[in-house]
A and B are shown apart, each in its own frame.
Chain A
Amino acid sequence: MNKTLLLLPLILALFIFPNIVFAQTAAEINKLRSTLSTTEQSKLRNCLSLESQMKTDLSNLMVLTGTMAVNLETIYTKTESYYRNTLTTQNKTLPGYDNTSSSISQNFNTIRESINRSREASNKISCTSREAKNYFQEYRTNMGLAVSLLKQSKEELTQLLLKLKDLETLNP
């Protein structure tokens, strides 16, 4: 008797839970069917089948961008340390260094913010959301900004390092 009582909730859960899920899914599908055209449904089916993969791809892009930003920032920190602790102590200074350095540093902050905004947008992307396209566009805009700032920072750092290389060969 006791065993039966213990099993009862389990059996109920086993029967009721799938039914609830099924009923909710069916209701959701019906709601969508009534509002979407055939083309839209086909797009939705494609999107749903690829949603998980798409999110993984978007996440990978953010990881890769973040890794590149960290690598660039490491180079920037080493450059900054070399300039402040070695070159300036030898009375070797580069005109405009502070401006360039601060611009690069600011870029890293913006890159981080853009990646964070992209992450927020990508978390909100869902094929069943009416706003999905907007969030996708937001992701694209922010990631585009991050990548273009990465390019700009790389170029500025390269130019800076070349100037510092010339500077270090000069006699004080």
Chain B
Amino acid sequence: MDGVAVRAVATKRVWAAALSAAWLLGLVASLASVVRYKTSPGAEGPTPARWPEASTLPHSPGRNTLVLFLHPECPSSRASLAEFNWLMNDALVRETTDGVVVFAELIQPPDPHAPFSSWARAAEVPNTVRRLDVDGAEAARFGALTGGHAALYDGDGALRYSGGLTNSRGHQGDNVGRRSVLAVVTGSGRAAPHRPVYGCALHDPTDATEEPP
């Protein structure tokens, strides 16, 4: 190989090395943007400290009621519903707590037979009822603006926990919110009264905080 060819190869490799370095930075930036997106919480309204009288949702006196608001189409709803299901499958929780999953009403109702349908999955959760939130009235009563918002009221109607059941957007697995609900119900362990909510905006499409780009 003559000198010109050697220099050409060397130049090409310098460019390739520079490109690789830039690529590495881009890779880190992409991962960072994912983390940022996943850990950005949704909006919340004030959750009433007492069970709203005007609510039409079932609440049995003497029993805890865990209400979960979901957007029926949002992919993050699957993670929140999965955590809700995990809690409701706990024997102690099921013994003392009733579940209510409230789906936001959409103009175009989702296909209940579609794969991964949250509406269909919610029907399989023990000790739980499904409700369609017409015009978002219940969400407004409970101050729920983002899908995945859960509120736990005890048998006296007092709010014991408000917030998400996942630690980030669409992320299943052990998290503080789930543990807090469990701690409240079982009376053991540390319980945080509030955690951020991760999910899709339930009603207001113009809210910029719902879905960052």
Verify that A and B bind, or say they do not.
no
